[in-house]
Chain A
Amino acid sequence: MENRYQRVLLGLCLAAATLPATAQDPIQVVEPQLERREIEPPAIDSENFEVGFFAGMISIDDFASEPVYGVRAAWHLSEDFFFEANIGLAEADLTSYEKLSGGAPLFEDSERDYQFYNLSVGWNVLPGEIYFSEKRAFKSDLYLIAGVGGTDFLGDTWFTATVGIGYRLLINDWIAWRLDVRDHIFNRDTFGDDETTQNIEWSTGVTFFF
Chain B
Amino acid sequence: MRLSATKLFTLLALTLSGAVTVAEDEASVTSRVVEAYIEMHTHPGRNYPVFYVAERGETIELLKRRTDWIKVRNQRDIEGWVHVDAIGRTVNASGQALGFASPDQDSFSTRHWEFGFMLGELDSTDAITGYGGYHFTPNLSLEAAYTENYGDFSDGKMFTGSIVHQMFPHWRYSPFFTLGGGMRETNPRSTLVATEDRSDGVASVGAGIRIYLTGRLMLRLQYKHYVVMTDRDDDEEAGEWKIGISAFY
Residues of A within 8 A of B (CB): 37-49, 75-81, 83, 119, 121, 127, 129, 137, 139, 148-150, 154-159, 173-174, 189-190, 208-210
Contacts and interface: CB of A to CB of B under 8 A. Distances in A.
B63 A79 contact: no
Nearest to B189: A156
Contacts, number: 125
B68 A47 contact: no
B155 A49 contact: no
Interface of B: 1-4, 7-8, 11, 26, 29, 42-48, 62-71, 88, 92, 96-101, 106, 115, 117, 119, 126, 128, 130, 148, 150, 152, 155, 187, 189-191, 215-217, 245, 247
Contact of A79 (B29, B46, B150): B46
A43 B2 contact: yes
A77 B71 CA distance: 17
B10 to A, nearest CB: 9
Given A45-B7, A47-B66, A137-B42, A77 B216 contact: yes
Contact of A156 (B8, B11, B128, B190): B190
A44 B66 CA distance: 10
Contacts of A119: 117, 128, 130
Contacts of B191: 156, 189-190
Contacts of A41: 88, 98-100
A192 to B, nearest CB: 9
A39 B99 contact: yes
B7 A174 contact: yes
29 contacts: A38-B99, A39-B96, A40-B99, A41-B99, A42-B98, A44-B62, A45-B3, A45-B65, A46-B65, A47-B7, A75-B115, A77-B215, A78-B67, A78-B215, A78-B216, A78-B217, A79-B68, A79-B69, A119-B117, A119-B130, A129-B42, A137-B42, A149-B128, A158-B150, A173-B71, A189-B152, A189-B191, A208-B11, A210-B11
Contact of B66 (A48, A154, A159): A48
Given A48-B67, A159-B126, A210-B4, A42 B29 contact: yes
Contacts of A75: 115, 247
A83 B7 CA distance: 21
A33 to B, nearest CB: 14
Name which of B11, B69, B106 has the most chain A CB atoms within 10 A of its CB.
B11
B193 to A, nearest CB: 14
